[in-house]
Structure formats: structure tokens, C-alpha cells
Amino acid sequence: MRRPVAAMILALVSLMPPCAMALPRLRVAVRDVAVTPAHIKQAVEKSLPVLWKGVNGHSDQRSCFTCHNHGVPMLAFATARGRGFDVPEKQWGDLIEFITDDLERNRLRFLKGQGPGPSPAGGETDNTGYALLALDAAGYKPDAKTAAVAHFTLTKHKDRDFWATHGNRPPSEVSSFTTTALSLRGLQRFATVEQQEQVAQRIAKARDWLSKTPAKDTEDRVFKLLGLKAAGAEAGEIRRAAKELIAMQRDNGGWGQTDKRDSDAYATGSALYALHIAGGLATNKPVYQRGLKFLLGTQHEDGSWHVRSRSRPFQTYFESGFPHKKDQFISCAATAWATTALALAYSK
């Protein structure tokens, strides 16, 4: 995602292999919390305020849109709002305005086929894909800004069958399945009538790539499933991708970011979201319920979920207001994914 120009020198560090940041596995302590509507409601109500702290604190200090402190949190707010949770109207409107202002600042760049801000610090289709995901979740209607993003998406990697990731910052900026799935969904929601022929061509090519390309970790599996659904893949393809993701659920109900890492809220929340939205898994099914139990049993008292970062630092450290210090960005995204998965399962 975009970063201040002053930090561009540090950006090169992010291109180093993530194995250099390998962390020891830790056993996850999961409290025994029953999966009930009351406990789900309590967990979501505790998480929303701390997510707003992360959103507002980041926005006050940086003008750029980010997936971790804006994109996935908007998905959480929209899902919770749709289930009757209190989402303050002013903050909701301010977040939409923040995202659209960022797109407007970059509109001319998009029309020239350029990503937001100076490369590599500015992000590419990972950034714009999450921005369109957030706006779609908020019910935002297509306009000149989103049309410009669609144009950029169509011109990016047009010689390939997929949209390649440009970063190496796991888990959210390392998978070409992520950029491909987000690009497909963004085009389907926001492409103009004039762009539809190009959109159809890109979808067909991406569908074939998604079908034949193996996934290597949870981020891949989550967004492969979402991408296949967005690309209109055959039901059998989608079922196979869902089964592959389900097969990686741990005994404690969670998913790990990789097959060798412990379960965490980022991997678990995103897996449950994909299985429900794209895989058609009902929230009352045992797989989903076990995932919810893991999330309920690992939430911190302040409403957040803590996930350790395994990406190299990209910019000068600052406090956004979200807990967990150097792990705040990934933990904010994890908390948003967990909140989304919980809210999807809530009924009075």
C-alpha cells in the first residue's frame, strides 16, 4: 500500500525474501467460549471501537489508503452494519470520503495506467483492489473515480492471464491470487459499459489461470476460492477449492497463514469469509462454528486480535492508535477479518 515518499528507500527492504523474517511458532491458547449469539454479539461490539481507533489514527497521520487500516476494516463495518450493529454514521461517511479522496488524487495516474503514488511504495492492484472492495461493501455507486481505477486494472498486466503481486510482504501483499481475485471483483462491480468487452476477456483468462494454478498457503487458497467465484468458474471447481481450504483447518478450529504456522485470526477470519461468500458454507455448519470458537477464544480483552508481523518494516514506525505496536498493521487487518466472520454468523 502507499507510503510517504520519505520512506521509499526503506521500501527496497520489503523485497527481500520473507524467510529472513521467519518467527518461531508459538502454541495458541484458546479459551473455551461457547458459540452463542450473545457471545458473538459481545465480541463484535468489543472489536468495532478498536477498529475505529486504528482507522482514525492512521488517517490522521497519513493521507494514503491502506488495505490493513481502511480496506478490510470497511468490510467489517459494512458487514456489522448489515447485521444491525451500531456503526456511527459520521465515521462511516468519513471513511468513505477518505477512500474516495485518495482515489480522486490519483485519478489521472490511473487513466495513464499508473498505480497510486510512486512505485514501489505506492502499491498497485493490491491497493486499488482493496479500495474497490471497501467501496463495494459500503454500497458506493460507480463514478469517474472508480471508472479510472477500472481502467488502470484493465491495463495492468494485460499481457498476462492474471494480476501479479508487486510486493513481498506476507500475508496480504505476496499472493497473485489476492491481486487477481480483487481485480476481478473490482471490475465486475465498477467497470463501465464501454469496458465490458475487455473485462470479459480478462475474466476468461483469469478463470483459466485460477483453475490450473496450485495454491501454496492460506492466503492463496482464500483468494483462489474468491477469485474462482468472481470469475464464474464451474461449481465443481469452486467446491474443490473450498474443500482444499477446509482441509487445512486445524484441530483448534483455526487456520494458519502457512501450513507450518500456528492458527491466527487473519488466516481464520479470511478463510471463513471466503468459505461463506464464495464456497456457500453456511455459518451454522461445524467447520464455520469451529472457526468461530477459535476466534471467540482468542480475542483480547480490548476487542482486538494480535497477530505477529512477518514482513520487513516498510516505513518509519508510528502509532496508529491500534494495539500491538510493531504488529499493529497485520493485527488491525486480522481483527477486521475476524469481526467480519463473526458478524456474518450473527442473528438475534
Per the DSSP assignment, residues forming a β-bridge with 173 are 169
- Residue 187's domain spans which residues? 35-344
* Within-domain flag for 17: no
* Within-domain flag for 14: no
* Within-domain flag for 22: no
More confident residue, 324 or 301: 301
- Give, in order, the Cα–Cα distances in Å from 24 to each of 13, 106, 258, 306, 333: 21, 40, 13, 16, 21
DSSP of 280-327, one letter per residue? ---TTSHHHHHHHHHHHHH--TTS-------SPP-S-----S-SSGGG
Is 25 in contact with 260 (CB distance < 8 Å)?
A: yes
Residue 340, φ and ψ in degrees, nearest 5: -60, -50
Pick from 299, 248, 308, 303: which is nearest to 275 by CA?
248
* Within-domain flag for 23: no
Is 148 in contact with 111 (CB distance < 8 Å)?
A: yes
The H or E element spanning position 137 is helix 125-137
Q: What per-residue confidence (pLDDT) applies to 161?
A: 97
Other C-beta atoms lying within 10 Å of the C-beta of residue 14:
19
* Within-domain flag for 89: yes
The identity of residue 3, as a single letter, is R
pLDDT at 188 over 80: yes
Q: What per-residue confidence (pLDDT) applies to 120?
A: 54
Work out the mean pLDDT of the chain and round it to a whole number: 90
Q: What per-residue confidence (pLDDT) applies to 303?
A: 98
* Within-domain flag for 19: no
Query: If you search the block for the grid coordinates 480490548, which residue do you land on?
Result: 302
More confident residue, 265 or 17: 265
* Within-domain flag for 18: no
> What is the Cα–Cα distance from 93 to 50, expressed in whole angstroms?
18
Q: What per-residue confidence (pLDDT) applies to 319?
A: 79
Q: What per-residue confidence (pLDDT) applies to 26?
A: 54
pLDDT at 272 over 90: yes
pLDDT at 315 over 70: no
> What is the Cα–Cα distance from 209 to 237, expressed in whole angstroms?
12
The average pLDDT across 23-38 equals: 82
pLDDT at 11 over 80: no
Q: Say which residues have a Cβ less than 8 Å from residue 344's Cβ, sequence separation at least 6.
A: 79, 83, 272, 273, 276, 283
Pick from 197, 203, 206, 69: which is nearest to 131 by CA?
69
Q: What per-residue confidence (pLDDT) applies to 18?
A: 36
Q: What per-residue confidence (pLDDT) applies to 2?
A: 40
The average pLDDT across 307-322 equals: 78
The average pLDDT across 183-194 equals: 98
pLDDT at 322 over 70: yes
* Within-domain flag for 102: yes
Pick from 188, 165, 181: which is nearest to 224 by CA?
181
Q: What per-residue confidence (pLDDT) applies to 314?
A: 64
Q: What per-residue confidence (pLDDT) applies to 6?
A: 35
- Whole-prediction pTM: 0.90
Chain centre to alpha carbon of residue 317: 22
Q: What per-residue confidence (pLDDT) applies to 238?
A: 98
- Counting the structural domains of the chain, the total is 1
More confident residue, 294 or 25: 294
The average pLDDT across 315-344 equals: 90
pLDDT per position as a tens digit, 38-68: 999 999 999 999 999 999 988 888 878 998 9
CATH number at residue 76: 1.50.10.20
pLDDT band at 119 (very low <50, low <70, confident <90, very high): low
